[in-house]
Amino acid sequence: MREFKIWIKYTINSFEQTLYNKMSVVIFLLGKFLRITLFLIFLNFLVQGSKGLAGYSREQIIFFYLSFNLADSAAQLLFREVYRFRELIVSGNFDFVLARPLNPLIRVLLGGADILDLFMLILITFFSIWFAAVSFHPSISQWLFYALMVLNGLLIAAAFHIFVLGIGILTTSIDHLIMVYRDLSSMARIPVDIYIEPIRSLLTFAIPLGIMMTFPPKALMGLLSGQFIAVSIIIGLALLFLSLKFWSYSLKQYQSTSS
């Protein structure tokens, strides 16, 4: 509870800093909304022209994209501070983070939530729920499985960002790895089923973007078996466990800039 209260304070401070320049906020939100809208229009024409995509209907493809944006916005909201971690390392200010009586992972992983992503997350969440309810009429169990798979996807995203933080301590390289993550995750804007093997299996289990982005909407649409749900949860928990172990190892290898 103590660490949660500290995280709330970090989040409020981050929100206040972001909202200081209101014109930048408006431009960012308009730009992101326009980008999402244009890609939705593109998907609509693409699926209409091809009479479906990888066996999925137009409504299913659109929901895959909406669900991708929901998961991506949630990850960006929670883990935005990772993008600023390199500056802490090269400047030596990470020493002060370690000196405080707080788990440093909370500070460098969750200490800079972005309110702009919160605005987009709220908008996309409401639109996704409305679209899914109107298009697929899911049962309560399907909604629960969808929420479980979204949460599991966030665990996998957290694991990846923790791995990046650990590598940042060892090499001071953050920016390129984050951009690799962004580029790879964009491949899951549409279901990974459209890719040929072995790319499909690679994106599903090895990276695993399919579990993060494709499994949640498939669970809501009743296209995901209980076996795959269980396996995906095991993979998510295993990746989180391994990332925390790697973070602990990286901290032991850290050499203070000021020493």
Please state whether the peptide bond connecting residue 198 to the residue before it is cis, i.e. omega within 30 degrees of 0: yes
| Listed residue (151, 180, 154) closest to 167, CA to CA | 180
**pLDDT at residue 171 is higher than 60:** yes
Name the packing angle between helices 140-171 and 226-253 (round to 10°): 20
d(CA 41, CA 110): 34
pLDDT in tens, 44-96: 777 776 566 778 888 898 899 999 999 998 998 889 888 888 888 888 888 88
Cβ–Cβ < 8 Å for 227, 248: no
pLDDT in tens, 123-169: 899 999 999 999 999 999 999 999 999 999 999 999 999 999 999 89
pLDDT band at 235 (very low <50, low <70, confident <90, very high): very high
Sign of the CA dihedral 168, 174, 177, 178? positive
